[in-house]
Structures are given as C-alpha cells and as structure tokens.
Amino acid sequence: MSSATPRMPRPSLRPGVVLAPVLVVGALLVVWQLGTSLTGTSVTVLPSPATILTQADWPAIGAATMSTIGSVLAGFALGNLVGFALALLVSASRPLADIIYPGAVMVRSIPIVALAPFITLFFGRGVLSAVVVGALIVFFPTLVNTIVGLRSVPQEALELGHVFNAGPVFQYVRVRIPFAMPWFVSALRISAPGAVLGVMTAEWVIGGAGLGRLVVQSWLGLDIPTMWGAVVLSAVVAWALFSVVSLAERLFLGWAVRT
C-alpha cells in the first residue's frame, strides 16, 4: 500500500501583487498632475510630474541615486547582521540580555542629529558615516523581531531536541533560527525604508554625494524640480528594496507566507 508524499506548497506571485502597486503609483501621478494643473500651484511650491520630468537635473539625480543605493545596501546589510547577532546573544544568555537590550534601546532612542558629531569624529564625512547611520536605524527592528522569533519556538520542538540529546548549538541551527526566520524577514521589510531614510539623513546632516545632499543643495539653489526629482527617486529606492525583500520572502519562506 503506497501513500503520497506531502509536498510543501510552491510559492507563487499573483498578478495583483505586481500590478496593484503600479496602478496605485500611476493613479497618484495622474492626481498629482491634474491637481497642480487645475489649481495653478507654483513650480516653486510643488511642480507637476511633467515639470519634474522635463526640468530636473537627471544626470545629477542619477549619480546621487547610485551613491545613496550603495550606502543603503551596505547599511542595510550591516545593521541586519548586527541586529541578528545581538538577538542570538540576548536569547542565549540572560546576563547578556540585561546588558545588550537596554544599551540597544538607549542607542536607538538618541536622535541621529545628536549622534552626528560623534559619527563624524570617528568615521569622517562621506559614505562610511552614511553607512553607519543606516545601520543604526536598521539594527533595532531586526533585534526586537528576531528575539521574539527565537523565544516563540513551540515547547514541544525544544523538548523533542532534549529527548535526542541535541546540544544548544544544534537546537539553534535546526530549530530556533529556522523558526525565527519569518520574524527576521518581517524586520527586513520594516527596516528597508528606514535604511533609506537613515542614509539620506546622514547625507543631509553629515555630508555626502547622495540624494539627501542633493535635496538640500537643490532647495538652497531654488532648483525645485531637481529637489522633487531626488525626493521621488528616494521613494523609488525604498519601495524597490522593500519589494526585493518581500519577493525573497515569498520565494524562500513560502511555507510561512499566508497572504
């Protein structure tokens, strides 16, 4: 007598997952264009999408975007790596948890503007400081979410490991970490826009060649179409990073995706 082997459901992308954001963005652009045209809004206040498209300094925006993307990806990776490593330490040791967690809360609660002089002193002005600020924004959601995942493992799974004399390392590698992956990926989605915001803030306050710096320079130079072009591109970068994380979640954690 044979029995069929159960298979994990294969993750799939519904057309609406891709089409819906495109339609929403298209509708917003149409409303934006009509609103500025019908109300006669000044270009110095809010230029229309058509004005931004034709009058913005796109070569400068493109160069700034590439600089920001590099800093965002580096800060995103560094912050999530640090957050994940600290979560492992906090979940494994109560004394370490009493030291690390309050310290992380304290660091995260300090405004970036207040930390800017110290970051500049240690890392100088430029890309490295932007990466550090991005990592500071990113690490805390990853730390908190991953701790929740590591501590939410069903007791039955842990007891089964004890029955088979599984050591702490084995339980973390084969039980706790896999179980915590959905929480970790949720933290990645939360921190993706935050990484862009952190890097642009650093480029604005500390200095750099990215979109944050270009927004300030364009505003001071009254080049409002370029300023808004940089703002729109920063939103596109944040949306793209969020979408890549969501796609990776569906491809590699399809068993945990319910919607």
Q: How many domains does the chain have?
A: 1
Tell me the mean pLDDT in the region 127-148: 90
Domain interval for residue 222: 57-256
Q: Does residue 107 belong to any structural domain of this protein?
A: yes
Tokens matching residue 29: 């652009």
Q: Does residue 2 belong to any structural domain of this protein?
A: no
Cβ-proximal residues to 143 (8 Å cutoff; 6+ apart), any chain: 83, 84, 86, 87, 90, 101, 104
Cβ-proximal residues to 111 (8 Å cutoff; 6+ apart), any chain: none
Residue 199, CB-side half-sphere exposure with 13 Å CA sphere: 35
Cβ 28 vs Cβ 173: under 8 Å: no
Cβ-proximal residues to 36 (8 Å cutoff; 6+ apart), any chain: 46, 47, 48, 51
Residue 19, CB-side half-sphere exposure with 13 Å CA sphere: 4
Which CATH number characterizes residue 107's domain? 1.10.3720.10
Q: Does residue 83 belong to any structural domain of this protein?
A: yes
Does 7 or 235 have the greater pLDDT score? 235
Q: Does residue 70 belong to any structural domain of this protein?
A: yes
Q: Does residue 12 belong to any structural domain of this protein?
A: no
Q: What is the pLDDT of residues 228-252, one digit of tens each?
A: 999 999 999 999 999 888 888 887 7
- pLDDT in the model for residue 64: 93
Q: Rounded to two decimals, what is the model's pTM?
A: 0.81
Q: Does residue 197 belong to any structural domain of this protein?
A: yes
Cβ-proximal residues to 250 (8 Å cutoff; 6+ apart), any chain: 11, 12, 13, 257
Q: What is the pLDDT of residues 9-28, one digit of tens each?
A: 444 555 555 677 778 888 88
Q: Does residue 34 belong to any structural domain of this protein?
A: no
Q: Does residue 4 belong to any structural domain of this protein?
A: no
Give the chain's mean pLDDT. 82
- pLDDT in the model for residue 112: 79
Does 208 or 248 have the greater pLDDT score? 248
